[in-house]
Each structure stands twice: as C-alpha cells, then as structure tokens.
Amino acid sequence: MKLPIVVIGDTQRTLLLERLMGREQNDAERAQILAVAANERPGAFIFLGDLVGWGASEAQWAVFDDFAKGIVRSGTAVRAIFGNHDYLGGRRASERNLLRRFSDPGISKWWSEDANGLRVLFLDSNRHVLSGPEWTKQSTWFRAELARADEDLSVKGVMVVLHHPPYSNSRIPGGARWVESDFVPPFLASGKTLAMVSGHVHAYEKFAVDGRYFFVAGGGGGPRVRLLEGDRRLHVDLYSGPSPRPFHYLRVEARPDGIDLVAIGFAKGDRSPKEFDRTTLKYR
C-alpha cells in the first residue's frame, strides 16, 4: 500500500427490522460518499467492516458491488475487515462472500501492511464470532507485531484498524469492552502507535488517551446514531459537532513528520462534501 489511504466505515443498507424500528435508509447518501471517495484516487482504500447488512446474502453483496464499483474497479488496492453484520447468516458463507472480493495473498483475518513508513495493523474484533483459540492467537500476534514495529527502523508509526471501537458516546451501546481490555493496553504501551481507527458506531468521534488517538469513522451510509452529550457523555470527544454527524470517510495523508487524518463528508440533505475535521499525528 501507499499513502494517502481512504478509510470508509459501515456502508451497509438498513435491514428491514431496523427500518421498522424507525432507523433511516441512506441509499442516496451512501452512493454519494462512495463516489466522492472513489474520486480521491488514493494509494489504497480500507473498509472498516459492516460492508453489508447480512453477510451471507449474495443479494446484499450484489448491491454493495454496484454501490462500490468506482472503488473496487479503480485498480487501487482495496482492503476490508469484518464487521458484525458481515458475519450474519452464517460464518462460512459470510467469510466466502467477503474474502473472495478482498483477500490477496498473505491476507487472512488479521495482518499488517506498510505504507510510506506507516505500518497498518488489521484486526478482526468480532470476539463473539471467533473461537477462543482464534482470539488468543490474534491477541498474541498483535502484541508481537507491535513489538516488531518498535524494533523496525523502517517503521515510523503504527495505525490499527478494526471494526469495534473501544470508546464511544453512542446512545446505542457502541464501545467494546473486549477491545478496550485486550487491544488497548498493548496499543498504548507501544512506542510508535499513533491511531486506532474503527467503525461500528454510525458517527464520527475522536478521543485521545496517553497521546494516542481513537477515531470512530462509521459514516459510510449506515443508519446514523445520536450521541450522548454534556454530562451524559462517557468520554471526552475532541470533535464538537452536533449529532447525527455527517456521512464521511477519512483520508490518511503523509507529512514529513507524521500523518494527517482528515474527515471529509456532508450532512443529510446537503451532499456537498467538505473537510470538517483534521488531526495531525506526529511520529515520536
């Protein structure tokens, strides 16, 4: 891979049951945000999971293929990790549907790639889908990979991507305790980690802990959520915009001394994309 990288979360269509509960359907906005992202022509695209609403459904994947054709057919490297919706309907069929679209040699359920000195670690955060031995194997690999990055002089910084965020102010519970307990401690202990980027919560959020940043970027078209505000917040959000937040994607840009994470999107009914947040992360 190479920078810049475009990161997109949660492009799934709203399921019928969710629509009966009053959740929004965002087909026009999804098509627009994916078209805008495709026009970026970056060095790589990363999908943060929940690409579809029902992972075992060939019909839903056909809809995704149409929405995302500008990205998938761009000739640019495209990577995707599993979200919880991507496993719905049965693990075997769901894995087949995603992996036959996005798996390259050397890529499995968790892996690492380099981009201009930035090492990107890809994780499967679906703790309740993976077996106990699988989860332990991934956690052990993650710690070892962070240690290798710290020792590798060619690696200037590390970014982690996974579906479930450790922190969120979503009114619908969104922070994953298993991510916070198993992945955050080694992430914070590593000398080169910069950012952990997730989806799952259909909003844009930004948190900082011990000089590391945690981004929630679930703005690819799934039904948006409202966030807890004021004294009800669980965590201090460094982005102060109202919720529901814009449909969006992130662009990871190279700097001489680090990277910029740029949030680009639009409000419902607007669809004129613009940069609405930028965070500079410097290599240590």
List pLDDT tens digits, range 109-157: 899 999 999 999 999 999 999 999 999 999 999 999 999 999 999 999 9
- Cβ distance 224 to 207 under 8 Å? no
145-197 pLDDT, tens digit per residue, is 999 999 999 999 999 999 999 999 999 878 999 999 999 999 999 999 999 99
What domains can be seen in the chain, in order of their start residue? Answer: 5-282 (3.60.21.10)
Structure tokens at 216: 């929630």
Global pTM value:
0.95
Which of the four pLDDT bands, split at 50, 70 and 90, describes residue 208? very high
Residue 115 CA neighbour count, 13 Å, CB half? 25
pLDDT at site 103 = 74
81-102 pLDDT, tens digit per residue, is 999 999 999 999 999 999 999 8
Residue 107 has pLDDT above 90, yes or no: no
- Cβ distance 149 to 158 under 8 Å? yes
Residue 274 has pLDDT above 60, yes or no: yes
Residue 246 CA neighbour count, 13 Å, CB half? 22
> What average pLDDT does range 268-279 have in this prediction?
93
Q: Average per-residue pLDDT in the chain?
A: 95
Q: How far apart are CA 142 and CA 154, in angstroms?
A: 18
Residue owning tokens 């410097």: 282
213-244 pLDDT, tens digit per residue, is 999 999 999 999 999 999 899 999 999 999 99
Element (H, E) at 111: strand 111-115
What is the 8-class DSSP label of residue 227? B
Which of the four pLDDT bands, split at 50, 70 and 90, describes residue 18? confident
Which of the four pLDDT bands, split at 50, 70 and 90, describes residue 106? low
Residue 105 has pLDDT above 60, yes or no: no
Residue 183 CA neighbour count, 13 Å, CB half? 33
